[in-house]
Amino acid sequence: MRRNRPVKHSELDFIIRIAGEGGDGVVSCGELLAQMAARTEFHVFTFITYPAEMRGGYSMIQIRLRDITIYSMGSMVDCLVVFNQQAFDNSIEVLKPGGVLLYDPAVVDIGKHDHEYMLEPIPLTMMAKEATGGSLSKNMVALGALSYLFGADMEMLETLMNERYASKGEEAMAKNHLALDAGYHAAANINLDTNFRLADLKPAGENYMLISGNQAVALGAIAAGCRFTAGYPITPSTSIFETLTRLLPLVGGRAIQMEDEIAAISAIIGASFAGEKVITPTSGPGLQLMTEQLSLASMIEVPIVIVDVQRAGPSTGLPTKTEQSDLKYAVYGAAGESPRITLAPTGVEDSFYQTIRAFNLAERYQVPVLLLLDQSIGYRKATVKMPDFDKLSLVDKSEPRKSVSIPKSSLISIVNRIEPSTTELEDYMRYLDTDDGTSPIARPGTLGGQYLATGLEHDERGIADQSPKNHLKMSKKRFRKLEFITKQFEKNPIEFYGPPDAVIGLIGWGSTEGAIREARYHAEKEGVVTRHLHPHTISPLPSRQISLFLLRLKYLLIVEENLTGQFAHYIKAKFGVKSIGVRKCEGMPITSDEILKVIMKVAGIDDEDNCTSL
């Protein structure tokens, strides 16, 4: 059954960007605004760019508000606030004609752009100095002005500010309030028609959170029953580890900062061997240090979850910028034949559910599971529906070999390891060669369950055995898991968007889902219908689903944020199909406009058989 949901049209779609340099506090300013919006019935989506340096460099937050689910940061903004010249130069192109430009006239020279926009100079620095004696609070001046323009509930804002700045001390807080006030009043003579006033909107139902993708991973891990993490800080993954460190003790879990990534993955392997559900978050450079231990985990079949919040590379690269360029590493990056699973969430909410799924798969099949986020998902905040905890269930112990279902807000099942039965313990074979490749795993402390987990090739009992036949047999056993999972996928309904007779198909993965959806929506408005498939499981790929999707396609577009077309290469390796690459490798998320352009170009091709001509 193909799903072809009608795209719901939105009455409201408003985008604000606040830009300045690192240290200006634009992110705080924007996040407070977003928080206020999130308390209304609006959906909120934020995107953050910030420099890798401690000081200076371009920094911005973009906030999108809609009355329906939001899938991307959007392309053109309705309101732009710039703190300095660089911010103006970098952002002015994305301001819609007729949009509002708020800027500090003391530092921004708007040049010849004056006619296309509504210009609203606000002397941020001067006003901050006047109100507080220093320029530090200029972001609060801006926030005050925006609060006025969007009709914020000032009482709520004060509460939010107090929560946020509680640790800064009385004096700083007082200054913030003074600056806020100054901005609020200064904006009184600006004429901006937003169609909405935040304070007048219905408050949200109680079941929404405003969280980042990284926070979603941390919360997903906790919901999945993870009670142990060991990590080493690395941008842009650090907030996952920081959030877990803060929250795990509250649920009886433990978090340890290790001396490096090798120690981190070693510690979670030890903890998983000891019986816990474990996770370590990292990014490309750190992930690479974990390679040897990842192969060990494949060999000794210990369940672990690794999160890679991708940043632009190679090497140190662009630590705070987004890219989808660790896919080939995730799928192939190990010596020897090392089976593992790779998942890629498509957005903030999905990060929560895919994290739960990562644990379920790791525990059910005893393989390392890699969760590939990227900076743009990790740092983006979005309103996420609170899952229904009454519908959360443990997979029945009597059915431990049940396949793992895909969790959703209305039904989450939590999977635990298959443990040996009393009979099995009588002559325990840790690496029993079973139909699905997975064998019962004894928890230390269990009498009779003692076994050896060795990185050397071993027999079903775990005893080292390097004979030719045993190596073949056990290699097959380990890979049978992936075959089994692939077969399980065949039972799932085919899920793609768009009509099955559309001849243009798009495949993407991870964070580009929203941009592709929006591009398709606009293409449809221009009369071009397309299909769209966005697998959450990167490896093993859901083969049957993709094969069916590929049927009768004339043009296949593969959308990804990297230079060489890693996903396209992989799809070709699996299905032999050629594709047109829709790629971006600039450290920034691809926009729906950029995708739309290629769709329209492809739709205009006359020679329909030649799909590689772009």
Ligand X SMILES: Cc1ncc(C[n+]2csc(CCOP(=O)(O)OP(=O)(O)O)c2C)c(N)n1
Q: Which residue is nearest to ligand X (CB)?
A: 234
Residue with smaller CB distance to other proteins, 304 or 595: 304
Each residue 495-514 as x (binds other proteins by CB under 8 A) or -, in order, gives --------------------
Cβ pair 324, 378 in contact under 8 A: no
Q: Identify the sign of the CA torsion 516, 517, 520, 525.
A: negative
Each residue 229-268 as x (binds other proteins by CB under 8 A) or -, in order, gives -xxxxxx--x--xx--xxx-xxxx-xxxxxxxxxxx-xxx
Sequence length of the chain is 614
- Cα distances (angstroms) measured from residue 284 to each of 263, 379, 452, 487, 568: 16, 16, 32, 30, 20
Could you tell me the smallest distance in angstroms from the CB atom of residue 492 to its own copies?
24
If one counts every other C-beta atom within 10 angstroms of the C-beta of residue 227, the result is 18
Site residues (CB under 8 A) for its own copies?
A: 51-52, 57, 284-285, 287-289, 291-292, 295-296, 298-300, 308, 310, 312-321, 323, 325-326, 328-329, 331-338, 454-457, 466, 468-469, 471-472, 475-476, 479, 562-564, 569-570, 572-574, 576-578, 585-588
Mapped onto helix, strand or coil, the DSSP state of residue 394 is: strand
According to CB under 8 A, which residues from 216 to 235 bind other proteins? 219, 222-223, 227-228, 230-235
Could you tell me the smallest distance in angstroms from the CB atom of residue 320 to its own copies?
8
Could you tell me the smallest distance in angstroms from the CB atom of residue 129 to ligand X?
31
**Is cis: bond before 444, omega within 30 of 0?**
no
Pick what 358 binds: its own copies, ligand X, other proteins, none; C-beta below 5 to 8 Å, kind-dependent.
none
What is the rounded CA–CA span in Å between residue 329 and residue 352? 23
Rounded to a whole number of angstroms, the distance between the first and last alpha carbons of the chain is 33
Could you tell me the smallest distance in angstroms from the CB atom of residue 257 to ligand X?
10
Q: Binding residue for other proteins (CB under 8 A) from 416, 446, 475, 486?
A: 446
Could you tell me the smallest distance in angstroms from the CB atom of residue 233 to ligand X?
4
**What are 78's two structure tokens?**
């309705």
**What are 362's two structure tokens?**
């790791």
What is the rounded CA–CA span in Å between residue 552 and residue 503? 7
- β-pair partners for 382: 45, 211
Residue with smaller CB distance to its own copies, 57 or 121: 57
Q: For residue 100, which of 194, 196, 228 has the smallest C-alpha distance?
A: 194
Cβ-based neighbours of 555, under 8 Å, separated by 6 or more: 503, 504, 505, 580, 602, 605, 611
- β-pair partners for 208: 385
Tell whether residue 284 is a contact of ligand X (CB under 6 A).
no
Mapped onto helix, strand or coil, the DSSP state of residue 255 is: strand
Q: For residue 474, which of 458, 463, 461, 485 has the smallest C-alpha distance?
A: 458
Q: Which residue has the tokens 């009779």?
A: 448
Tell whether residue 389 is a contact of other proteins (CB under 8 A).
yes
**What are 454's two structure tokens?**
């060795």
Residue with smaller CB distance to ligand X, 138 or 311: 311
Cβ pair 464, 456 in contact under 8 A: yes
Could you tell me the smallest distance in angstroms from the CB atom of residue 74 to ligand X?
31
Tell whether residue 134 is a contact of other proteins (CB under 8 A).
no
Residue with smaller CB distance to its own copies, 244 or 367: 367
Q: Binding residue for ligand X (CB under 6 A) from 76, 119, 156, 289?
A: 289
Q: For residue 214, which of 348, 48, 62, 407 has the smallest C-alpha distance?
A: 348
Each residue 307-346 as x (binds ligand X by CB under 6 A) or -, in order, gives ---------x------------------------------
Pick what 1 binds: its own copies, other proteins, ligand X, none; C-beta below 5 to 8 Å, kind-dependent.
none
Cβ-based neighbours of 227, under 8 Å, separated by 6 or more: 248, 251, 252, 253, 254, 276, 277
**What are 200's two structure tokens?**
């007048």
Residue with smaller CB distance to other proteins, 228 or 567: 228
Residue with smaller CB distance to other proteins, 177 or 381: 381
Residue with smaller CB distance to ligand X, 189 or 315: 315
**What are 84's two structure tokens?**
């300095």
Pick what 97 binds: ligand X, other proteins, its own copies, none; C-beta below 5 to 8 Å, kind-dependent.
none
> What DSSP character marks residue 430?
T
According to CB under 6 A, which residues from 231 to 250 bind ligand X? 232-234
Residue with smaller CB distance to other proteins, 274 or 614: 274
Q: Tell me how many residues contact ligand X (CB under 6 A).
A: 8
Q: Identify the sign of the CA torsion 554, 345, 492, 305.
A: positive
If one counts every other C-beta atom within 10 angstroms of the C-beta of residue 600, the result is 15
Pick what 564 binds: other proteins, its own copies, ligand X, none; C-beta below 5 to 8 Å, kind-dependent.
its own copies
Single-letter residue type at 212: S
Pick what 577 binds: other proteins, ligand X, its own copies, none; C-beta below 5 to 8 Å, kind-dependent.
its own copies
Of 125-133, 229-237, 418-426, 518-526, which segment contacts ligand X by CB under 6 A? Answer: 229-237
Mapped onto helix, strand or coil, the DSSP state of residue 525 is: helix
Q: Identify the sign of the CA torsion 374, 283, 288, 536.
A: negative
Pick what 373 binds: ligand X, other proteins, its own copies, none; C-beta below 5 to 8 Å, kind-dependent.
none
According to CB under 6 A, which residues from 255 to 274 bind ligand X? 261
Tell whether residue 206 is a contact of other proteins (CB under 8 A).
yes
Could you tell me the smallest distance in angstroms from the CB atom of residue 372 to ligand X?
18
Residue with smaller CB distance to other proteins, 246 or 402: 246
**What are 99's two structure tokens?**
């949009």
Cβ pair 523, 530 in contact under 8 A: yes
Q: Binding residue for ligand X (CB under 6 A) from 57, 121, 285, 317?
A: 285
Pick what 541 binds: other proteins, its own copies, ligand X, none; C-beta below 5 to 8 Å, kind-dependent.
none
Could you tell me the smallest distance in angstroms from the CB atom of residue 326 to its own copies?
5
Residue with smaller CB distance to ligand X, 99 or 378: 378
The residues of the shown chain that bind ligand X, judged by CB under 6 A, are: 232-234, 261, 285-286, 289, 316
